[in-house]
């Protein structure tokens, strides 16, 4: 959520807690028929390369702990350096949750 744009999310139970999924607004989703697909001719080597990538990157189980929010870690590092140098940290304004949600 670093862009400042509101995002649509889905929160669901996961193990003993909650997990959040980012979703798309209707205007961000295009009908599959609108997407150009080219001529559909595929070279055998391209197919093998694609299948190889899928095999290498596929996992039996999703492990979110294996992924890190690099942007958040960089921001926290900058804030920690400022704190150590005695510089004031920027004041953060929070929005109230919409009671209708």
User: What pLDDT does residue 35 have?
Assistant: 86
Q: What is the pLDDT along the chain (101 residues), one digit of tens a residue?
A: 456 667 788 888 888 888 898 888 887 888 888 888 877 788 899 999 999 999 888 878 877 788 788 888 888 898 888 888 887 766 766 665 555 54
**Is residue 21 a contact partner of residue 7, using CB atoms and an 8 Å limit?**
no
The pLDDT score that the predictor gives to residue 100 is 52
Question: What are the distances in angstroms from CA 39 to CA 36, 42, 44, 51?
Answer: 9, 9, 15, 20
pLDDT of residue 3: 63
Beta-bridged to residue 23, according to DSSP, are 8
pLDDT of 101: 47
């Amino acid at each position: 959520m670093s862009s400042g744009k509101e995002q649509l999310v889905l929160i669901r139970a996961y193990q003993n807690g909650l997990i959040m999924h980012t979703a798309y607004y209707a205007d961000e989703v295009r009908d599959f028929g609108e997407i150009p697909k080219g001529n559909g001719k595929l070279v055998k080597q391209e197919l093998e390369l694609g299948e190889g990538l899928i095999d290498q990157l596929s996992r039996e189980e999703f492990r979110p702990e294996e992924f890190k929010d690099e942007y958040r870690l960089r921001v926290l590092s900058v804030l920690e350096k400022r704190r150590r140098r005695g510089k004031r940290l920027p004041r953060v304004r929070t929005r109230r949750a919409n009671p209708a949600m």
